[in-house]
């Protein structure tokens, strides 16, 4: 039996996507007092929700992207995360599932440029949608820690290789 008061005793699943348009990929930049960081568009899977339904919902919410306007999502990487974070509740263990899809410039032109993340207690935090050359992902503070794997792709549609990436822990990541 799990104890919800202990760190990492709850498990959440997050689906995210690398949305490619040519050589560029959409990432969301969040600026905080501790510094900026990037993340893939995506979010937590709701209880009982299908993984691809969650991905579709998150991409619609964050990018205003209808997955019917993209190639079929392809699962590229899975990454386990057990990172300490600030706040009154113990951090969950999170399984990140990163997918990849491709869009054409006409679809990109219709997508959102700002994404608003709801904050506990109300309000929202803006995230700027940036299109970045995918090979520069390794240079960014990107969470989950997929920057090296993304940048190593010889082309945006190249096979992703081993889907299991090293775990994210307090030794290799500091919560921002």
pLDDT bucket at 9, cuts 50 / 70 / 90: confident
* Residue that is written with structure tokens 């599932």 in the block: 97
pLDDT bucket at 175, cuts 50 / 70 / 90: confident
87-134 pLDDT, tens per residue? Answer: 788 888 999 999 999 999 999 999 999 999 887 788 888 999 999 999
Architecture of domain 11-153: Alpha-Beta Complex (3.90)
pLDDT bucket at 176, cuts 50 / 70 / 90: low
With pLDDT > 70 as the criterion, what percentage of the chain qualifies? Answer: 98
144-172 pLDDT, tens per residue? Answer: 999 999 999 999 999 999 999 999 999 99
Is the distance from CB of 147 to CB of 137 less than 8 angstroms?
yes
Q: Among candidates 153, 157, 55, 66, which has minimal Cα distance to 96?
A: 55
- Burial class, 41, CB count within 10 angstroms (exposed 0-12 / middle 13-18 / buried 19+): buried
User: What per-residue confidence (pLDDT) applies to 123?
Assistant: 84
Percent of the chain that is helix, strand, coil (3-state, to 5) = 20, 40, 45
User: What per-residue confidence (pLDDT) applies to 2?
Assistant: 62
Mean pLDDT confidence for 11-38: 94
Map out the domains of the chain as residue ranges: 11-153
Mean pLDDT confidence for 12-25: 98
pLDDT bucket at 79, cuts 50 / 70 / 90: very high
pLDDT bucket at 23, cuts 50 / 70 / 90: very high
């Amino acid at each position: 039996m799990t104890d919800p008061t202990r760190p990492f005793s709850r498990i959440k699943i997050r689906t995210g996507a690398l949305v490619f348009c040519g050589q560029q990929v959409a990432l969301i930049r969040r600026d905080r007092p501790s510094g900026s960081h990037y993340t893939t568009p995506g979010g937590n899977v709701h209880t009982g929700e299908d993984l691809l339904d969650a991905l579709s919902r998150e991409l619609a919410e964050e990018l205003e992207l209808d997955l019917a306007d993209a190639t079929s999502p392809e699962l590229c990487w899975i990454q386990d995360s057990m990172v300490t974070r600030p706040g009154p509740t113990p951090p969950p263990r999170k399984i990140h599932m990163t997918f990849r899809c491709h869009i054409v410039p006409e679809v990109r032109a219709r997508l959102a440029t700002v994404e608003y993340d709801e904050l506990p207690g109300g309000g929202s935090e803006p995230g700027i949608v940036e299109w970045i050359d995918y090979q520069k992902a390794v240079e960014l503070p990107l969470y989950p820690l997929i920057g090296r794997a993304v940048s190593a792709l010889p082309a945006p549609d190249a096979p992703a290789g081993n889907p299991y990436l090293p775990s994210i822990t307090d030794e290799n990541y500091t919560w921002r």
